[in-house]
């Protein structure tokens, strides 16, 4: 019985190598996408960029979204010179009483703060919008944290080796 199982495994392996040899002219990315689809993988998981530097915007009033952004805009412009980086903008709120005045939600206020900082970065041309990632962590501190992460080459997908 085990010999039949071993023979089945060997035939599958030979078939896989025949498939690879027969498709030598195929685009590698197309071949990998087809294999992912065949095994039911919808899309490769995108790993968060590896953080290498951080900056923080403090000075938000309770329930407010306005703060002095001059220093962080200059900082972001400087670090965004490398096209391989992404900036994660994380909005947060104080644990007690720091909520959106209209909705009473700390999560909405944290999102509004992150969006306000991201919009200022884009409006001042410090970084393009496709290089920004927005996150929300309500209940930690009344600030917005910017993390510079090395995302690598954008044309490579997770798991692909070149």
In the chain, which stretches have pLDDT less than 70? 1-3, 23, 43-47, 153-162
- Write down the pLDDT at residue 161: 46
Question: Per-residue pLDDT tens for 132-147?
Answer: 999 999 999 999 999 9
Q: Are 57 and 72 in contact (CB under 8 A)?
A: yes
Using DSSP's 3-state secondary structure scheme, residue 13 falls into: helix
The C-alpha atoms of residue 77 and residue 85 are separated, in whole angstroms, by: 12
The C-alpha atoms of residue 51 and residue 1 are separated, in whole angstroms, by: 52
Q: Kindly report the number of other CB atoms within 10 A of residue 115's CB atom.
A: 16
- Write down the pLDDT at residue 37: 84
What residue spans define the domains of the chain? Answer: 2-38, 50-150
> Listing from the earlier edge strand, what are the strands of the sheet with 144-150?
50-57, 144-150, 85-92, 132-137
Domain 50-150 has CATH 3.30.1330.60: yes
Q: What is the pTM of this model?
A: 0.68
Give the list of residues 6+ apart from residue 28 with CB closer than 8 angstroms, or none: 160
Question: Per-residue pLDDT tens for 28-53?
Answer: 778 778 878 888 877 656 667 788 89
- The two tokens of residue 102 are 């209209």
Give the list of residues 6+ apart from residue 72 with CB closer than 8 angstroms, or none: 55, 57, 117, 121, 146
- The two tokens of residue 136 are 């929300």
Closest CA to 92 of 144, 24, 38: 144
């Amino acid at each position: 019985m085990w010999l039949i199982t071993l023979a089945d495994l060997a035939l599958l392996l030979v078939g896989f190598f025949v498939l690879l040899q027969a498709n030598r002219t195929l685009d590698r990315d197309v071949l990998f996408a087809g294999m992912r689809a065949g095994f039911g993988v919808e899309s490769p998981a995108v790993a968060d960029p590896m953080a290498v530097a951080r900056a923080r915007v403090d000075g938000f009033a309770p329930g407010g979204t306005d703060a002095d952004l001059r220093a962080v805009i200059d900082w972001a412009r400087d670090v965004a010179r490398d096209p391989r980086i992404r900036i994660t903008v994380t909005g947060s709120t104080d644990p007690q009483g720091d909520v959106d005045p209209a909705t009473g939600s700390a999560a909405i206020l944290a999102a509004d703060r992150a969006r306000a900082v991201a919009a200022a970065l884009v409006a001042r041309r410090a970084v393009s919008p496709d290089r920004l990632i927005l996150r929300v962590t309500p209940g930690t501190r009344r600030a917005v944290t910017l993390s510079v992460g090395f995302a690598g080459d954008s044309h490579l997908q997770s798991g692909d080796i070149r």
